[in-house]
Structure 1
Amino acid sequence: MRLRIEFSTEPFDLDGVPAHALEARRVIDEAGLDVEVGPFGTTAEGEAHAVLAALDRVLRGALGVGASRISVQVTTVPEAPGGHA
C-alpha cells in the first residue's frame, strides 16, 4: 500500500524558516520519499512502511526543536490498473 502525507508545522515565521520546519524537511528528504514542498506545507508519498517511519521521525524531530503544533493528513493512494500507484 502507498500512502500520502501532508503536514505543516507551527508556529509560522514569515521572516524566515523556523528550525522545526527545517528539521521536518531534513527528515522527509532523507526518507527517500516523493516530496513536494509548498509555502504552507509539505506532501510526501511512498510505501506505507517508509511513510509511517518518516512521519514518526518528522513528529519527534520537529517537536524536539520547537514546533508547537503539527497538522497531518494521511491518505491512501489508490493503485492504478496493473498494481501500480
Structure 2
Amino acid sequence: MRLRVEFTTEPFDLDEAPGHAVVAREVIRTADLDAVDVGPFGNTAEGRADAVIAAVDTLLRRSLEAGATRVSLQVNVIPEEDGK
C-alpha cells in the first residue's frame, strides 16, 4: 500500500520559517519517501505505508518538541495502478 501525507505546522511566521516547520520539513526530506514537496503553506510526500507512518510519527514528536502548537495532517491511500 502507498500513502500520501499532507501537513502543516503552526504557528505561522510569514517572515521566516519557524523552528518547528524547519524540523518537520527535515524529517520528511530525510525519510525514505517519494515525491516530497515542501512549501511555505503546505507539504506533501508519498511513499510505502510503513515509511509514511514512521515519518508521521517522527514528524509529530519532533515538531511538537520544537514548539508547534498545532499540526494538521491528512493521509490518503494512493490507489494502485491496477485499481486495487
Q: Place the TM-score, normalised by the shorter chain, in its bin.
A: over 0.9
C-alpha distance in structure 2 between counterparts of 1:76 and 1:58, whole Å: 19
Matched, 1:74 2:79: no
Report the TM-score when normalising by structure 1: 0.92
C-alpha distance in structure 2 between counterparts of 1:60 and 1:8, whole Å: 14
Name the counterpart of 1:12: 12
Equivalent pairs counted in the alignment come to 83
SS at match of 2:25: helix
CA RMSD of aligned residues (A): 1.4
Alpha-carbon shift at residue 55 of structure 1 (Å): 0.2
Question: After TM superposition, where is structure 1 displaced by more than 2 Å over at least 4 residues in a row?
Answer: none
Alpha-carbon shift at residue 30 of structure 1 (Å): 1.0
Gap regions ≥5 residues in structure 1: none
SS at match of 1:81: coil
Give the share of equivalent positions with the same residue, in percent.
61
The 3 A distance-change label for structure 1 pair 82 and 9 is: closer
